[in-house]
Copies of this chain bind each other. A is one copy, B any other.
């Protein structure tokens, strides 16, 4: 005998992700969220608990949305190095708007991780996933003879993780486009 929800919590979470992603945690006020989510303030608190919990939920949502595609991209059968290259180039080749927004994980790592244990944990998990996926891909590349056996897959994967994070930072500025594209191409020569 309960009344049905009138809004879609999933869509609301998505809207919250959009806001936090674009403006960061501190600069996004509850008033912004009320407007952006299109639902009442009380409903936000009833559904998500607090601004902080909502942010963490948005962070998880971001991971859920991006991890599977990444994993699939890197574990396709056939040659793997082209997939890795495509991934890095996609990060580096994004349009101005995407570049400005950056990566939600990067943004969280910088703004919250140093003084927010819960946020830091999720960032770390995210890096772990990416590093593991890249390492597995590079190991497979090695096994398939695409990569000289002399390379160290784990260290190479870590280099790519760090590079991708750097791309998301430098990409935030106006001249970031050319900068990160050059950087990506240089780093990718390590895969030859």
Which A residues lie at the B interface, using CB under 8 A? 22-24, 26-27, 100-102, 106-107, 109-111, 113-115, 120, 123-124, 127, 131, 152, 154-156, 158-159, 161-170, 172-175, 179-180, 182-187, 189-190
Contacts and interface: CB of A to CB of B under 8 A. Distances in A.
A22 B114 CA distance: 8
A169 B109 contact: yes
B110 A107 contact: yes
Contact of A190 (B100, B101, B190): B190
A78 B127 CA distance: 39
Question: How many copies of the shown chain assemble into the complex?
Answer: 2
A172 B106 CA distance: 10
Contacts of A152: 182, 186
Q: Which 5 A-B pairs have the closest CB atoms?
A: A166-B166, A26-B26, A162-B166, A162-B183, A159-B186
Nearest to A126: B173
A32 to B, nearest CB: 13
Contacts of A110: 102, 106-107, 110-111, 169, 172
Given A102-B110, A163-B183, A187-B187, 17 more contacts: A23-B115, A24-B111, A27-B111, A27-B115, A107-B110, A110-B111, A123-B172, A124-B173, A124-B175, A152-B186, A155-B185, A156-B186, A158-B180, A159-B163, A159-B186, A162-B187, A168-B169
